[in-house]
Amino acid sequence: MAPMREAKGSKRRGRDVRHSGGGFVRNWLPPLLVVALLASGLAAYRFEWGQRYLPWLAADPATEPEQVLLPAGLDLPEWSAPIAPTAVDDAAAAVVPDRVASALRADLADPDLGRHVVGAVSSLAPGSEPWTSGDGRFLPASTTKLLTVGAALETLGPDHTFTTRVVRGDSPREVVLVGGGDPLLASRPLTVAEAATAYPARADVATLALEVADALGGAGRVRVRYDDSLFTGPTDNPAWRRDYVPDDIVSPITALMVDGGVAPDGLSRSDDPSAAAADAFAEALRAAGLRVAGEPRRDVVRPGAEQLAAVEGAPLAQVAERVLDVSDNEGAEVLAHHVGIATSGTGSFEAGAAGVLATLDALGIDVSGDEVYDGSGLSRRNRISTSTVLGLLQEAADPDSAALRTLVTGLPVAGFTGSLTYRFDEGPALARGLVRAKTGTLTGVHALAGIAVDRDGVPLAFVLAADKVAPEDRYDAQDALDRAAGSLATCRCSRTPG
């Protein structure tokens, strides 16, 4: 009886299973089909299957742009018609003070900015009347780099390049590496992958070593000397905080640096960048097949020494773009030293700072109230006026000042490039892409200076800064300045003739 009961039970379970399977199909198949259809639709949109496999159904972006769907996640502001159908004359435009004040009032009054806040906004027309707020004089931090780069472009020219040479020393088998103050000189060539994204291209001492080895026959014994005498004076700026160089915040500044003074370990900075560059060069000579005797030693080349090889860095315009984009402290200081050489024959911190102000003064920019002690803005003794920065931006935007144009094109773009890549995440989305600015940041100091395109398409020069910010408010202060600059992009702050 038991086996029979089991058999009956087995049949009963079989009927239950078949019944349950039918219920699964009826209950779950329709939702699964819906999910599959939605997934297919999403994939077709994401991977453009329609355009790829059914081209007759796809909208043509050239003839039917209004039918092309926007990429997912793109947030665009509402479109509004310009004031007039004619092009705006940027040079003739003028700011409307009341409108600028209204646009910036709330953000510049943010208590997180502390008790000393300055602001200035003007059109790009040289000498145009600006809107100002505060006393106009501030600690600029890295916005100092605008002055340095502007002076370098003016004195040297945008096409100027920096050459690193090797000459024959006192004996036929002695070679001297001569620093030419190339801000971007590297220890080795870029890999193919690195070269695909690196900008600008860089000269390197490894390539130089190969040329030297070839000039010496590819074999034999050599002694290495190095000459960094192009720059003089201290390598650590007396106007910097005493811990900046020892704590690897910035490298000592010399005329012969590789990799911006960063040590081979990639984690620290060289105490003597010139000696480190010579070591890298000597190692490259060994790799090229030469035997290097002893350690490299500092020397000064004799006049007329035979040149064995040379490498040339990127044009200054490209170097300037990088210095502004990533706020390169070492690069800015090297450029300031070159300004000193061009204006006084001396490549030092003091001569460079004096040369920068003298160059701006020669451009007709009033620098009488400015104090500059370095090229990077690391010095807390620096004080410049908002009018100096506005005047320089206006000069750079002038169609007749082609030499300074990089000062504008090299500015980071809000939300997209350089030091502004991860900024402007608050405030109007419209500002991302319509504000270009140089940042300035030190403990207690936050600044932005650049160009914003207002709602009517008129570019406006601006300077916004707060230099007495409480340490705990640093991020909120930064956001407040971003919002203020962004407000210029949403403002109809300009007046045009007629």
**Tens digits of per-residue pLDDT, 117-127?**
999 999 999 88
Confidence of residue 48 (pLDDT cuts 50, 70, 90): very low
The answer to whether 327 is a known catalytic residue is yes
**pLDDT tens-digit series, residues 61-108:** 333 333 334 444 445 455 444 444 333 445 557 899 999 999 999 999
Cα–Cα distances (Å) from 206 to 9, 215, 223, 280, in that order, read 85, 14, 16, 8
Given a cut of 80, is residue 192 above it in pLDDT? yes
For all residues of the chain together, what is the average pLDDT?
85
Cβ proximity of 147 and 372 under 8 Å: yes
Over range 379-384, report the average pLDDT. 98
Query: Could you tell me the CA-to-CA distances from 433 to 74, 152, 410, 416, 489 in Å, in that order?
Result: 13, 27, 14, 7, 10
Q: How many CB atoms lie within 10 A of CB 255?
A: 27
CA distances from 150 to 145, 320, 363, 438 (A): 8, 9, 10, 13
Instruction: Give dist(CA 332, CA 360) in Å, integer.
Output: 16
What is the 8-class DSSP label of residue 259? Answer: G
CB 391 within 8 A of CB 366: yes
Catalytic residue among 327, 376, 385, 419: 327
Q: Rg (Cα) of the chain, in Å, rounded?
A: 31
Contact criterion met (CB below 8 Å) for 232 and 348? yes
Taking Cα atoms as reference points, which of 262, 166, 160, 272 lies closest to residue 216?
166
Angle at the Cα of 14 from the Cα atoms of 8 and 19, rounded to 5 degrees: 130
Amino acid present at 52: R
Please, what sign has the CA dihedral across residues 49, 54, 55, 60?
A: negative
Contact 431, 75 (CB under 8 A): no
Determine which one of 133, 142, 187, 401 is catalytic. Answer: 142
pLDDT tens-digit readout, 303-326: 999 999 999 999 999 999 999 999
Please give the model's pTM, rounded to 2 decimal places: 0.82
pLDDT at 250: 97
Q: What is the 3-state secondary structure (H, E, C) of 412-480?
A: CECCCCHHHCCCCCCCCHHHCCCEEEEEEEECCEEEEEEEEECCCCCEEEEEEEECECCHHHHHHHHHH
pLDDT class of 12 with cuts at 50, 70, 90: very low
Average pLDDT for residues 226-235, to the nearest whole number? Answer: 98
What per-residue confidence (pLDDT) applies to 92?
57
pLDDT tens digits, 239-266: 999 999 999 999 999 999 999 999 988 8
pLDDT of residue 37: 45
Whether residue 405 is predicted with pLDDT greater than 80 in this model: the reply is yes
142 is catalytic: yes
User: Is-contact 268 250, C-beta < 8 A?
Assistant: no
**pLDDT at 32 (0 to 100):** 54
In sequence order, what are the residues at sequence separation of 6 or more whose Cβ sits closer than 8 angstroms to the Cβ of residue 42?
A: none
Question: For the residues 3-11, what does the mean pLDDT come to?
Answer: 37
Q: Is residue 399 predicted with pLDDT exceeding 60?
A: yes
CA–CA gap between residue 31 and residue 25 (Å, rounded) = 10
How high is the pLDDT of residue 8? 36
Distance in angstroms (rounded) separating the CA atoms of residues 449 and 436: 8
pLDDT value of residue 50: 40
Structure tokens at 394: 């206006």
* 293 vs 12, higher pLDDT: 293
Distance, in Å, from the CA atom of 260 to the CA atom of 460, rounded to the nearest integer, reads 34
Q: Is 11 a catalytic residue?
A: no
Give the H or E element holding residue 26: helix 2-47
Lowest mean pLDDT among 14-23, 24-33, 321-330: 14-23
Q: Specify the higher pLDDT residue, 227 or 191.
A: 227
* 70/335: higher pLDDT: 335
Banded model confidence at residue 28, pLDDT cuts 50, 70, 90:
low
The average pLDDT across 368-390 equals 98
CA distance 335 to 149: 7
Q: Which of 122, 123, 133, 145 is catalytic?
A: 145
Judged against a pLDDT cut of 50, whether residue 17 lies above it is answered with no
pLDDT tens-digit readout, 453-497: 999 999 999 999 999 999 999 999 999 999 999 999 999 998 765
Question: What percentage of the chain has pLDDT greater than the value 70?
Answer: 81
Which amino acid would we find at residue 168?
R
